Chains A and B, each alone.
Chain A
Amino acid sequence: MLSGLPSPEVDEDSRPFWEACANQELVLPRCLSCGRFRWPPGPGCPHCQGRGTTWERSRGLGQVYSWVVARQAMHPAVALQVPYVVALIELPEQVRIVGNIVGYSCDEVFAGLAVEVFFETRPDGRTFPNFRAAAAEQR
């Protein structure tokens, strides 16, 4: 778990997400008009411009779409925390969210690696979703 990085601000477009995180649930915004999910949260649907939103719980089972292994610290807070993996996780809801692949060798990540969500509570008390290799992939 990365620590010391800036904290995300909660706004009206993202509040349900952060509130669900506190309960260890991953929820995603979905358009009431066209039914498509979107990410990141925003005031309306980028696909159909519908303004109504419902938040639906995701099982958080996804696959690695792309990733980098951060080896040089680009913020003082992570100076002692490199290397780490930053990945784009593709979820069955057809959105991709950013996460780390925790507890997995940086050099062995591959496209399509199956991952599952878990929740981390950081020293400031905020809870974040993050990802680890799904049970079948763990080594």
Chain B
Amino acid sequence: MRTLRDQAAVAGIGQTTYSKESGRTVTALACEAILGAISDAGLRPCDVDGLVRFDSDPVGEAVLIGNLGLRNLRWMSNTGYGGSGGNAVIVHAAAAVAAGAADVVICYRALNGRSGRRLSRSHAAETVSGVEAFQIPWGMLAPVHQFGMFARRHMIEFGTTSEQFGHVAVSARRHASMNPKAIMRQPMTLADHQRSRMIADPLRLLDCCIESDGACAVVVVAADRARDLRQPPVWIRGGSQGSGARTEGIVFREDLAAAESVNTARDAFRSAGLGPEEIDVVMIYDHFTPFVILSLEAYGFCPRGEGGRFVEGGRIDFDGELPVNPHGGNLSEAYLQGLSHVIEGVRQLRGTSSAQVPEVDVVLSCSSVAQLSAAVVLRRD
């Protein structure tokens, strides 16, 4: 059987300072993160022969080639989508390596997401087309409105509560408070969450991820290069992208109380030859708190409908039964569309996290369950 299993490894990670106003161009941010990741791996820009870009990233390949001296590229790809991209780029890099198309692949994401164009807001112009023509005129304007529909439906069908969403937010903040890179480090209680204002009821301010400026980069290398580099290899044990039935106009999907990434979960676990019971730390794309709950259900960590109860009582804290997002996630560290989650997964496997979980052998990083999805399974040597 042909598989991605252990054919590639993460050899380097890089990130800029995260802030609400970088005062720098996205190109400068991307270059810093990429050079940091290359250096972390003990490589040089001329060693890079592959490049994977988020299709929504403002920094194009051509710009990077010129600014970084990437003169030896022989393979490039783009992939989306939004929040699934952080894992999807890793799947693409591993696939390129497995196919022999490249040996040293850069994955990156750069955005001035707070000081520049804010993803939380509608930027709709005078007219709207396609699916938006059937949403925007009624004030369904922003991600918080669309994803709030899922949160509400989970509450209706399973009795999930705002307090349970709050447990996710509090856990993320506890982790961020230990992470010197995190933007939101001041302690938060469940009462703070419950007092935060409604943005789109049932979603409160503290249910929403932060918006930030910054960049992340990851270097993926072929297995036969991985052992000779500066860092211990973190093996890409498996991974997958997935679609579900409707990814444009997600609110028109048949079942809003369930995750459509069940196929991605199945495929990622199958390619890794592992299951949820073997995962030590889970990195979950947390654009809104309820999606941690839906992801835990989709990836088989708890039965459908029980995710709300699952996140109570510190279970997903770094010192809990199933640590989730020990870096603080999109909710409290920074919003880099999931690539920062892969970086934290690598840190956990290297033993260098700011909220280190003991004896981590296998990490799952999985994306949002509402759009196109992707997941990677990482393991240490």
Binding site for B on A (CB under 8 A): 2, 5-9, 11, 14, 39-41, 46, 65-72, 74-75, 78, 81, 84, 86, 88, 95-100, 106, 111, 128, 130
Tell whether A66 pairs with B137 under 8 Å between CB atoms, given A74-B144, A75-B121: no
**Are A9 and B133 closer than 8 Å at their CB atoms?**
yes
Q: Is B203 engaged at the interface, CB distance under 8 Å to the other chain?
A: yes
**Are A8 and B140 closer than 8 Å at their CB atoms?**
no
**Are A75 and B124 closer than 8 Å at their CB atoms?**
yes
**Are A88 and B127 closer than 8 Å at their CB atoms?**
no
**Are A67 and B149 closer than 8 Å at their CB atoms?**
yes
Q: Is B141 engaged at the interface, CB distance under 8 Å to the other chain?
A: yes
A-B contact pairs, 11 of them (CB 8 A): A2-B138, A7-B137, A41-B134, A66-B150, A66-B256, A67-B152, A68-B145, A74-B120, A75-B124, A86-B138, A88-B149
Closest partner residue, chain A, to B142 (CB atom): A74
Which bucket holds chain B's interface residue count?
A: 35 or more
Tell whether A8 pairs with B128 under 8 Å between CB atoms, given A68-B145, A74-B121, A97-B134: yes
| Smallest CB separation, B249 vs chain A (Å) | 6
Complex contacts, A86 vs chain B, CB 8 Å:
138-140, 145
| Smallest CB separation, B244 vs chain A (Å) | 12
Closest partner residue, chain B, to A2 (CB atom): B139
Closest partner residue, chain B, to A72 (CB atom): B199
**Are A71 and B127 closer than 8 Å at their CB atoms?**
no
Complex contacts, A111 vs chain B, CB 8 Å:
156
Within 8 A of A (CB), among B116-175: 120-122, 124-129, 131-142, 144-145, 148-150, 152-153, 156
CA distance A78 to B140 in the complex (A): 11
Q: Is B202 engaged at the interface, CB distance under 8 Å to the other chain?
A: yes
**Are A75 and B122 closer than 8 Å at their CB atoms?**
yes
Contact partner of B148 among A7, A68, A97, CB < 8 A? A68
